[in-house]
Amino acid sequence: QVQLVESGGGLVQAGDSLRLSCAASGRTASSYVMGWFRQAPGKEREFVAAINWSGTNTYDTDSVKGRFFISRDDAKNTMYLQMNSLKPEDTAVYYCAATLSSRLVKSQADYRYWGQGTQVTVSS
């Protein structure tokens, strides 16, 4: 019932910044939790960050803490991931996801809706 489309990926150098966007369409609800995941070549998809329905609570994984910042603008039905001080190990396809929940969740199984992903490549 919800469609998610990521954008903003690209090829950058280590230390650069990118801002990813996730545009939502279709049925929406104020109680949606939204999150970002990433999948590097040869690795499983991993959790990056999540944000609650109001945008007042966030959670992120240790590997991006202090560098990545998640936010949302419900008026625009858009979620963002500001990525600073990018490292080569951040290279991955980044996916946005959403689900109805009263709490922050970080498991793939907890998310019902997924985008197709956007490629982020960080060179040395």
Q: For position 123, what pLDDT does the model report?
A: 97
Residues of the chain with pLDDT > 90: what percent? 78
Burial of 94: CB neighbours in 10 Å, binned 0-12, 13-18, 19+: buried
Look over the chain and give the mean of its residue pLDDT values, rounded to a whole number.
93
At 72, list the tokens.
């949302």
Cα–Cα distance measured from residue 122 to residue 105, given in angstroms and rounded to the nearest whole number: 27
pLDDT tens digits along 62-77: 999 999 999 999 888 8
CB 70 within 8 A of CB 60: yes
Residues of the chain with pLDDT > 70: what percent? 98
Higher pLDDT, 120 or 25: 120
Out of 9-13, 21-25, 27-31, least confident range: 27-31
